[in-house]
Amino acid sequence: MTQMKKYQLGEFEEIVMLTVGVLYGEAYGVSIKKEIESRLKRGVSVGALQTALKRLEDKGYLKSHEGKVTEERAGRPKKYFQITAYGKKAMEYTKSTRDELWSAIPKVALDVKFS
């Protein structure tokens, strides 16, 4: 049980983590937002995203560093995110629990559902 708690990851948080992984090295606020929006076809507010990013960083799943200052951002730096080893473990844990759950569903149930 303690393990569960240790690696707790919300649905949106998981998506953010995965996206950061997908964007490997190029993940900063705007790019993550766009990636999620284009892949999942859903709108993401800056507020929601930043909240999730901050929480993940606080938990130690993500780390960040500031990039170069660019002109189109009026001199504001980009903050690039990277998955930490700990974050990777959390993602793996989440995936494995999902898989376990999937494999535990009896065939019948799925059949009924699909029929």
Any contact of residue 72 with other proteins (CB under 8 A)?
Answer: yes
Any contact of residue 76 with other proteins (CB under 8 A)?
Answer: yes
Stretch of 16-24, 28-36, 85-93, 102-110 lying at the interface with other proteins (CB under 8 A):
28-36
Q: Contact 101/48 with Cβ under 8 angstroms? A: no
Q: What is the dihedral of CA 90, 37, 29, 87, to 10 degrees?
A: 10
The one-letter amino acid code at 34 reads: K
3-state secondary structure of 78: strand
Stretch of 9-17, 40-48, 85-93, 104-112 lying at the interface with other proteins (CB under 8 A):
40-48
Interacting residues toward other proteins by CB under 8 A: 28-30, 33, 45-48, 50-51, 54-55, 66, 72-74, 76-79
